[in-house]
């Protein structure tokens, strides 16, 4: 294998040099070029193209506040805190991994031992004003409790609005209505995962 193959940067072999005529040097040549360009009718081609587009009426506008483009499942916008489907309790177990991995130090959580001697998250906040939406917290979460949602309109008048845990947590009535959107991005359970589970071989 020779080096020439790697030096050829052309993506396809269909490239060709555009045939450019030499510029006229004398007055008569310039005059001929002017006449040729005048009666070539290229201006009417331009007129026809825009009129054709107007008649076809193939509008590509998305009227943004009313319509929105579909967004990919792996898009990393404002976080969502998920609940368990069966019991409705929060999935977060207070392990603190997201707080630890957060590279912009915007996640803060306080935990305590509750009366059933289980770990309970008493305070959880993400400062979205600092968050760079890198996705590490969602990636590191062992319970799929914190994920990224598709809500990218996170402008606000007050900084206090950027840390509201209640906004991120799935409301309990939405969960009961079965409207909690599972995260399909990185770390999510792939479809038909149940069928792929094998019994642990115990008969050693």
Q: What is the smallest separation between the CB atom of 120 and another protein, expressed in angstroms? A: 48
Which 8-state DSSP code applies to residue 170? P
Which burial class, exposed, middle or buried, applies to 80 when counting CB atoms under 10 A from its CB (0-12, 13-18, 19+)?
A: buried
Tell me which stretch binds another protein (CB under 8 A): 21-29, 50-58, 111-119, 121-129.
50-58
User: Whole-number minimum distance, CB 23 to another protein, in Å?
Assistant: 16
d(CA 75, CA 151): 9
DSSP helix/strand/coil, 91 = coil
- Between 26 and 193, whose beta carbon lies closer to another protein? 26
Binding residue for another protein, selected from 13, 19, 21, 58, defined by CB under 8 A: 58
By CB under 8 A, tell whether 51 contacts another protein.
Answer: yes
* Contact predicate 68/62, CB 8 Å: yes
Q: Is 132 in the site for another protein (CB under 8 A)?
A: no
**Lookup result for tokens 């939405």:** 174
Binding site for another protein (CB under 8 A): 34, 43, 46-47, 49-51, 53-54, 57-61, 63
């Amino acid at each position: 294998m020779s080096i020439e193959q790697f030096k050829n940067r052309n993506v396809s072999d269909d490239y060709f040099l555009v045939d450019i005529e030499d510029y006229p040097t004398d007055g008569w040549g310039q005059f001929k070029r002017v006449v040729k360009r005048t009666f070539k009718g290229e201006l009417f081609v331009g007129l026809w193209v825009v009129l054709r587009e107007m008649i076809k009426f193939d509008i590509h506008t998305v009227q943004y506040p009313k319509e929105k483009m579909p967004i990919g499942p792996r898009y990393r916008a404002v976080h969502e805190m998920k609940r368990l489907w069966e019991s409705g309790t929060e999935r977060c177990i207070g392990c603190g991994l997201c707080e630890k991995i957060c590279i912009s130090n915007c996640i803060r959580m306080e935990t305590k031992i509750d009366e059933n001697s289980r770990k309970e998250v008493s305070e959880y906040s993400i400062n979205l004003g600092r968050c760079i939406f890198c996705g590490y917290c969602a990636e590191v979460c062992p319970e799929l409790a914190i994920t990224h949602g598709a809500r990218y309109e996170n402008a606000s008048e007050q900084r206090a609005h950027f840390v509201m845990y209640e906004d991120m947590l799935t409301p309990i009535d939405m969960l009961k209505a079965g409207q909690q959107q599972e995260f399909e991005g990185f770390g999510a359970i792939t479809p038909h995962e149940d069928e792929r589970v094998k019994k642990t071989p115990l008969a050693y």
